[in-house]
Amino acid sequence: MKLPASALLLSCALCLPAIAHADDAALTDTLKAFTRCDASFFSSLNTHRAAWQAYAPLKQDKDFSWIAVVNRGDHKANQVPVSAPPIAGLKLLAYADEATDLDQLGRYYYWGFVVQGGVDEVARRLALLLDQPARLQKIDGSYIRSELKVDDRWQAIKPQPGKAPGTRNVERVLIVEPDGEQTRVSCSVQGGVDAALLAWLRPDIAPVDYPRTVVETSINDVEIPAGVLQQLTSPLLQPKFKTLSYTYRSKKADNSKDSLTSVTFTADGGLLKKNEVYANTFNVDRVVQADLIQLKSKMNGIGDGRVLQTRAVELNVPSSWTQGQTLSATLQMINVPAQPTDQPSATVLTCKVGERFPARQVFASLSGDAIKLECDQGDYKTSRAFIEDLGIALTLESTSSEFHYVNEYTALDVVR
């Protein structure tokens, strides 16, 4: 039986609420996936692309879809309008997709939405979509959820706004922040971002746009110049042990929280290979003489992964530790591998020889004498004890225009 036109219209009208409800659920599902800051956002866009394609420009590849901007590397072309109705109470105005390389501060990949309304209201509504809303913390007028990549998992950390992760760490951040009169809700993966991580989190980024892999320089691959080695013959600065390890606590003058550092030395001819571990967060490898003259160093865990090499030295070492004598060194240093804009840097160390005192005053198990050295290196000044029985200087105090530390040695072990 053929239905009259009025009945057909009524039948279609009755379908509309169900269709609208289905679209609302699809849009909400995708926005919830977005808050995870991973590939599930692009998977959800693909699943619900029929609902999204009316509101934003989409592209698709395999099992993923994404909102396409013209050029994520151009601030004038990395944002497109979004015309969707309110989703979970959030009115989306635009989608942004940005990529920035800040060299040793790290690479930054942002994706997210400009949302109508103020930060507090947007954050309140967004929190309803989060798996763990309590992790979104308000800091300085923004709301932030931060995670650190540890092996193949993400570990929740306290947000650190204004602190760059560098190239050795990777952070994943969800941030709700002011954007003029509106609010921007962004995911960011930042720091030492590589191709493997982008393939995991950002299937919308083509492999041709992945960052190039840089082979990190090993400190062992950077030679100490022969001309520098020829200057390091003083018998006063030769090590008298095979290995030495110690731990010390640096106490600030203002009695604020102090830090614990562990140091290990291995004798290598007349030089020392040194490793410093700072509060279990990062470490530094060095090659030094008597822990007074630095020949090369590399920071591990932060920095750009290059080696700072001493390529020339002018060294004046007294023939004996006589009070009033002076030890001085002028070092010319450069990072390896050098970049086109790099310039050599110079540092001058001058140490005035002071009185002798029992080495056990530095640490109870030490024998023989220690010689007080007052060292000046520009804005950085140190008071050191040269342990004659070991052939090494231990720092007792360090001072600059910004800090003053007193070191307390808490453990020491030596193998002769």
Mind listing the pLDDT tens digit for each residue in 64-103?
999 999 999 898 999 999 999 999 999 999 999 999 988 7
Task: Point out which residues pair with 222 in neighbouring strands.
Answer: none
Which of 60-69, 114-123, 214-223 is the least confident region? 214-223
Hey, is 225 helix, strand or coil?
A: coil
Is the pLDDT confidence value at 5 over 60?
Answer: no
The bridge status of strand 107-115 relative to strand 79-81 is unpaired
**DSSP state letters, 385-407:** EEETTTTEEEEEEEE-SS-EEEE
Closest Cα partner for 193 from 177, 224, 158, 169?
169
**Count of other CB atoms within 10 angstroms of residue 26:** 19
Token representation of residue 211? 């960052």
The bridge status of strand 326-336 relative to strand 307-316 is antiparallel
Contacts 24+ apart (CB under 8 A), 215-223: 216/305, 217/298, 217/305, 217/306, 217/307, 217/336, 217/337, 218/307, 219/285, 219/287, 219/296, 219/297, 219/298, 219/307, 221/307, 222/296, 222/307, 222/309, 222/336
Task: Point out which residues pair with 273 in neighbouring strands.
Answer: 266, 287
Mind listing the pLDDT tens digit for each residue in 344-360?
999 999 999 999 999 99
CA angle 281, 348, 391 (to 5 degrees): 70
- Per the confidence metrics, is the pTM higher than 0.85? no
Give burial (CB, 10 Å; 0-12/13-18/19+) of 99: buried
Mind listing the pLDDT tens digit for each residue in 323-348?
999 999 999 999 999 877 788 999 99
**What is the pLDDT, as a whole number, of residue 214?**
62
**What is the pLDDT, as a whole number, of residue 305?**
80
**What is the pLDDT, as a whole number, of residue 278?**
85
Confidence of residue 256 (pLDDT cuts 50, 70, 90): low
All domains of the chain, ordered by start, with CATH? Answer: 13-209 (no CATH), 219-415 (2.40.360)
Q: How many helices (H) and strands (E) does the chain have?
A: 6, 22
**What is the pLDDT, as a whole number, of residue 1?**
40
- Please compute Rg for the chain using Cα positions: 30
The bridge status of strand 79-81 relative to strand 392-399 is unpaired
